[in-house]
Structures are given as C-alpha cells and as structure tokens.
Amino acid sequence: MLNNTLRIATRRSPLALAQTKYVQKKILSLYPNLKIILVPIVTHGDNILNKSLSKIGGKGLFIKELEFALLDNKADIAVHSMKDLPVRITKELRLISICKRGNALDSLVSNNYESINHLPKGAIIGTSSLRRQCQLITHRPDLVILPLRGNVETRIAKLDEGKYDAIILATEGLNRLRLKHRISQIIPAELSLPSSGQGAIGIQSRLHDKKIIFFLSHLNDINTFIEINAERAFCKKIESGCQIPVGSYAILRKNRIWLRGLIGSPDGKIILRGERFGCYSTAKQMGYSLANELIRYGAKKILNNINVKKSFYI
C-alpha cells in the first residue's frame, strides 16, 4: 500500500465485483480518505467453461491468478468467496479477515417448480457441484443431473432457454446480485449441506504486510470466523477439494457451535454424515474430530475410489 492507496485484486465476474465493492464500502467506512483501486483479473477457472471443476483442478483455479497478483505486488489484497479458497493457503500469503456471512444455503432456481419435491420424474437439473449432485441423487434418484458452468447470469440464461427444468445455485450469490426473486426454494441443510465457507467473503494479503493486516483485521467478523474455522478444519483433515463431494456447515449460537459434515460418492450411493456440538473455543478441534470419525467410517475409501477413477480418465 503506497500513498494511501489500496489495490484490490478481484475476479471480473459480476458476482466477484459485487463482493469486492461490498468490501470496498466496508473499508471506506473505516478509512474514508483511502483511495481504492480495483484490479480485475480473469482466472483460469473463468476461461474453461466446457469442463467440470472436478476435472480441471478444482475451485483453486479461481484464486491462483489473484494470489499471483499479490505475490508480484500488483495488488495489496485479494477478495475471495470463502468457498473457493483452498484450506491450504500459499505460505507467503495470509487470510486476514472474513466478513460477516450471508445465507450459507443452496437455492433451487426454476421457472415452473417451487421445490425439489415438486420436480417431476426425469426432470433435468443443472449443477457442476459433486457435493450438490450426490445429495440430490440420494434424495431424488429419478432426476437427471447435467453439468452447468459459467457465471450466475449465464447459468440462469441457460435455464430460461429451456435447457434445464431447474438449477442449483448459492443463495447468497443470488442475493448479492439482486436476484433473490429468482429463488424458488432455499434448500435446507438437511437436504443439501453447504460447501465450507459458502456465503462468506474472505480478504487475503501478503504475510509481511503488517500495516494492511492490522487495519483490515477490523473487518473480521468473529462469529463467522469461528464457524468457518471449524468447517475448514474438517475439510483440511479430510484433504478435500471440489473434486470430491464434501460439505461442512457450522452454526454458532450463544458460544455453542453446531458442526455438520459429509462426504459422499459422486453417484450418491454412499454418503457419510456426522455432527459435533461444543464450545466455540474448540471449533478447530471439532472439525478435526468429525473428520476423523468419517475417516473411520470409510471416507478414505471414497477418496481413493474417486482418485483412481480420476487417474484413469486423465
């Protein structure tokens, strides 16, 4: 940060820009004299739209170029969707703040049907998330799941063109784009457990930028940080990415935290679930403990099977 100017790296998608402008507004509320420059970047994940994320390297493809901008001193901070940020962060960088979380749940978007249970047999559902796919298949094995990539507006346009009967998107993404009116159903966590960090925005900086870390740490929402710390601990122990169907979701109320986690096979035939209740101070330990429980029940076997199949097709 030079001459009272802060450069923010962000993806170019409308949702990413909306999230970055939200962060920008928060920063200016604390430091109104600060000059902020946005540094929009097209990531590798944004360029490859004809393949599912599980086949091209996972959600990390949406953040690497932003991290390179930090490492090359082309930006001072980067703004990420927390669900896209890998649990293992580049050692020269640091996650300094997580803003207050919005709605963490998934939503069904459809022009003709008001809920998953109202979808007719054989209805075509669009999603490229293996997490969503495995849970949906378990609940409604009669549905047809087809891949769907692109930004939120592109996905909705494909729905409106009649290519799908319904699609599944993150609720908070729709809210931030002022598309709440397109939501047919906010899907309960019991039916579609969210991805770790879903609904929250993270701010990343260089590890040695102490001044930036000090100032922007004030944007951190402690409750959200504790919840996502538990979720990411679970995923870190499971060693998960978007290449496998995994979900984790924590809720903090009155110093008590409720953590749920799952891992499943892509075809939905096997889903392992577990939960933990405890004091907020043990959030990370709860994540590790829950992961270890699912590992004992067979999570590693699911992971190994997925890795074998992935290697076979590469």
Q: Which of 194, 190, 184, 163 lies closest to 83, judged by CA?
A: 194
Is residue 227 within 8 Å of 283, Cβ to Cβ?
A: yes
**Which residue is catalytic, options 46, 76, 84, 106?**
84
CA geometry: angle 216, 219, 223, nearest 5 deg = 135
Six token digits for residue 304? 């190994």
Residue type, 206: R
Q: Please say if 84 is a catalytic residue.
A: yes
Element of type H or E holding 281: none
Q: How many Cβ atoms sit within 10 Å of the Cβ of residue 204?
A: 22
The CA distance from 55 to 243, in Å, is 7
CB 203 within 8 A of CB 23: yes
**Residues with catalytic roles:** 84
